[in-house]
Amino acid sequence: MSTRSEALESLRSIPLFSRVHDDDLESLARVVIERRFSKNTTIVEEGLPGDYMYVIREGRVKVTKASDDGREKILSFMDVGMFFGDMALFDQEPRSASVKALEDVRVLALSRRDVLDVLRRSSDLALAVIGALIARLRETDEQASSMSFQRVKARTQGLLDRIAKTEPDGRRLTPALTHQQIADMIGTSRETVTRVVKQLKEDAWLRQEGKRYVVPVEGFDAGYSS
């Protein structure tokens, strides 16, 4: 990054580092690398070794995994402040998933050696990382519970509501999605998703713009869904 002060400000603006002591932030600022990736670039590739974790500074990415028949299955979407690539740093196993830029992306990259070194010295950062990993695990548990107990319509609404991003004009838009990708993410068939999406449009809960969906600003409350 261009200057130490810019690096500090950039790190401090990210939720993961917001409560980390200045001395530890300065240690990170000395070793962090800023990288830019253009839209559709693969940042992390499943199966390859990984030496860096990345924190998203600008832009949005999707996390995917190859299915048994070679299709791309979307696991999640990530945007500013979220991080990825951490698992390979801690267990030194190959990357468990791929990460691709959905738009031009700017990330902060930290090597395994630097991350572990700062974690050993900074209890604040260690707790922040643990907290973020627990939140991610809770979300995974909720998704698993949703697949087990909620109807497909509710699962579809919950997914679209969760991944929608508020645009400057106030609308909440999802990334571009196919019915097959939605089906993969909620554990059902493409045909079922097609019927559900049609019903949600008829209910006036959902609108479509190209391959993106517009969801209500008030969001989705599973407690009031049929």
Q: Which tokens in the block code for residue 219?
A: 């969001």
> What pLDDT, in 10s, does the model give residues 167-179?
999 999 999 999 9
| Per-residue confidence (pLDDT) for residue 76, from 0 to 100 | 86
What's the mean pLDDT when you consider all of the chain?
83
| Per-residue confidence (pLDDT) for residue 223, from 0 to 100 | 45
Query: Is residue 11 pLDDT above 80, yes or no?
Result: no
Identify the residue with better confidence: 122 or 197.
197
Distance CA 164, CA 17 (A): 24
**Sequence-ordered alpha helix ranges (H) in the chain:** 4-12, 22-31, 86-91, 112-121, 123-149, 152-163, 179-186, 190-202
Question: Terminus-to-terminus CA distance in the chain, angstroms?
Answer: 51
Where are the domains positioned within the chain? 4-144, 150-224
Least Cα distance to 59 among 42, 75, 82 occurs for 82
Query: Is residue 131 pLDDT above 90, yes or no?
Result: no
> What pLDDT, in 10s, does the model give residues 25-78?
888 888 888 899 999 999 999 999 888 889 898 999 999 988 777 778 888 899
Q: Please report which confidence band the pLDDT of residue 226 belongs to, taking 50, 70 and 90 as the band edges.
A: very low
| Per-residue confidence (pLDDT) for residue 85, from 0 to 100 | 86
DSSP H or E run through 214: strand 212-215
The CATH class for the domain spanning 150-224 reads: mainly alpha
| Per-residue confidence (pLDDT) for residue 100, from 0 to 100 | 95
Distance CA 61, CA 79 (A): 6
Q: Which of 1-10, 51-60, 164-173, 214-223 has the lowest mean pLDDT?
A: 1-10
| Per-residue confidence (pLDDT) for residue 116, from 0 to 100 | 83
CATH topology identical between 4-144 and 150-224: no
CATH homologous superfamily of 4-144 equals Jelly Rolls (2.60.120.10)
Residue 31: CB atoms within 10 A of its CB come to 15
| Per-residue confidence (pLDDT) for residue 3, from 0 to 100 | 57
| Per-residue confidence (pLDDT) for residue 221, from 0 to 100 | 62
Check: pTM over 0.75? Answer yes or no: no
Residues whose CB falls within 8 Å of the CB of residue 211, separated by 6 or more in sequence, listed in order: 176, 177, 178
Distance CA 62, CA 100 (A): 6
